[in-house]
A and B are shown apart, each in its own frame.
Chain A
């Protein structure tokens, strides 16, 4: 089974223009900052949001095709949508919530109740069958919402920020439980999140969506090691530079150059780990090749590493020990020299 969605649409100031393919049996996370169009993409797939042009197809069933004017109503698409707020019906018992989709598709009351009960047991909510959703905790209501869509045996499972409505203390356990439940579903699994940790722990593949466009996709480890946008780099905690390589020099967009050790030639991206940036007040001994004159723009103490934001020809973040920061009086600001070894710069083509 596969889901294929090619979507172009304008929603307020957002122009969503993306082409996404998801195979079944692999959990895929659409990762991106708030307002990137992630939820809109899910809503388009479910038939809840209109598209200007595009085509949505799941396992050969055309949900929407603006070219042939094909359109399936949301209720006719076999899509399980777990909403960010879980969307449980407050006026129905937990059991009736889970049975709702079965009843809506014509199953008789008793059979639907029996099946719903089975699923409630499966997600460990059997004893809440007759409770109202308001009696459930965040994690429980999420499991109820998941059971409610899985009981209808959908072709695709869509989850919008699955852990957003759950308080932080319970997330660790929930993430594990959710991953296990997801693994039992063999159809297309697509979730949307702004949290890299969630994407990394729940999904095998990530699709990075920024301002309506896919900027990168692949395994989480690949994406975070070699980011292709400033947002992913920041999320992965890396400095990202953009430029063109010739020989052992990368010429950056601002005109400055750094010495690198790479076989790549032409337009390229380069990342530098913040801890690979060494800071000095006076020119260091020896003759390091990459010395960048910067101003301290900010100091963010984070445990035993302090993150130092630098303003120079290009913005840079360095990580130093609190002791080093104190010795260099970085909190006073002023000018510093940032030194990076050529071998610490990871260069890859654009």
Chain B
């Protein structure tokens, strides 16, 4: 029930709020208004767009896998153990969230660049990260995996370890408890975290272009392709098509996550 006092809103707040809505809506409307709907189908299947899309899907998928493999264990340890320095680790994990992506890209370059110790070792193993597809995936994982860690950790914290205790008294060893109890119960938050991480990875621009550059077919993902066609070749039409594609994917993620993630904020 709405309380009587707040039922009539303050006019002074309505105006800035309306501006806020327009602020979000107008660019979207502008984007949609400039779409050349008749040529859209053919542009969507043009080689350039398809190449960028395939590359984006590839890199973001690899980024999610990396995030899952290293992010879920970290989330578990942060949520369930009294690891010394846990606060520091948690702060460290959230850093990529606020760090300007360009800084992330430069930092990755200084850690994994071809002239660095790690980069040299990797090179001997035949792996070159900078300006390669693998590098683009790494950059996307770097920026996206905090979303997964934070979501999964929150999901694990929501439940205490009572059911793991129950499993222990039933004779389940630690790994069985982890796979049969902890993970299935955390599955919804892992899925939500993976989706957020994927969405972030898909839209990643700054860290990727800094660390991996923009080579069509190798590191030029959807956002980078959109930027370079907009800025460089002046093909505004293609930039808009690519933007529309990214917008559609973003809305899809929102719809999929609306209950799980946005519901928690409600």
Which residues on A are within 8 Å of B, measured CB to CB?
46-48, 73-77, 79-81, 83, 85, 87, 89-91, 100-101, 104-105, 148-149, 152
Contacts and interface: CB of A to CB of B under 8 A. Distances in A.
A100 B168 contact: no
Interface centre among B166, B173, B180, B185 (most CB of A within 10 A): B166
Contacts of A74: 165, 168-169
A79 B163 contact: no
Given A91-B184, A91-B185, A79 B167 contact: no
A77 B168 CA distance: 9
Contacts of A87: 162-163, 165-166
Contacts of A46: 169
A83 B185 contact: no
Contacts of A90: 185
A83 B166 contact: yes
A104 B176 contact: yes
Nearest to B183: A91
Contacts of A81: 166, 169
Interface in B154-186: 162-163, 165-173, 176, 180-181, 184-185
29 contacts: A48-B165, A48-B168, A48-B169, A73-B168, A74-B169, A75-B168, A75-B170, A75-B171, A76-B171, A79-B169, A80-B169, A83-B166, A85-B162, A87-B162, A87-B166, A89-B166, A89-B167, A89-B181, A100-B167, A100-B172, A100-B180, A101-B170, A101-B171, A104-B172, A148-B170, A149-B169, A149-B170, A152-B170, A152-B171
B173 A104 contact: yes
A48 B172 CA distance: 13
A73 B187 CA distance: 27
Contacts of B168: 47-48, 73-75
Contacts of A104: 167, 170-173, 176
Interface of B: 162-163, 165-173, 176, 180-181, 184-185, 187
A74 B168 CA distance: 6
Contacts of B169: 46-48, 74-75, 77, 79-81, 149
Contacts of B165: 48, 74, 87
A41 to B, nearest CB: 15
A91 B185 CA distance: 7
B171 to A, nearest CB: 4
A298 to B, nearest CB: 40
B163 A89 contact: yes
A105 B169 CA distance: 11
Q: Which 9 residue pairs across A and B have the least CB separation, nearest first?
A: A87-B166, A101-B170, A104-B172, A74-B168, A104-B171, A81-B169, A91-B184, A105-B171, A75-B168
Contacts of B176: 104
A100 B167 CA distance: 8
Contacts of B167: 89, 100, 104
Contacts of A105: 171
A55 B17 CA distance: 67
Given A73-B168, A89-B167, A148-B170, 7 more contacts: A48-B165, A75-B169, A79-B169, A83-B166, A90-B185, A100-B170, A105-B171
Contacts of B185: 90-91
Nearest to A80: B169
Contacts of A91: 184-185, 187
Given A91-B184, A91-B185, A75 B162 contact: no
Nearest to A73: B168
A75 B166 contact: no
A130 to B, nearest CB: 17
Nearest to B187: A91
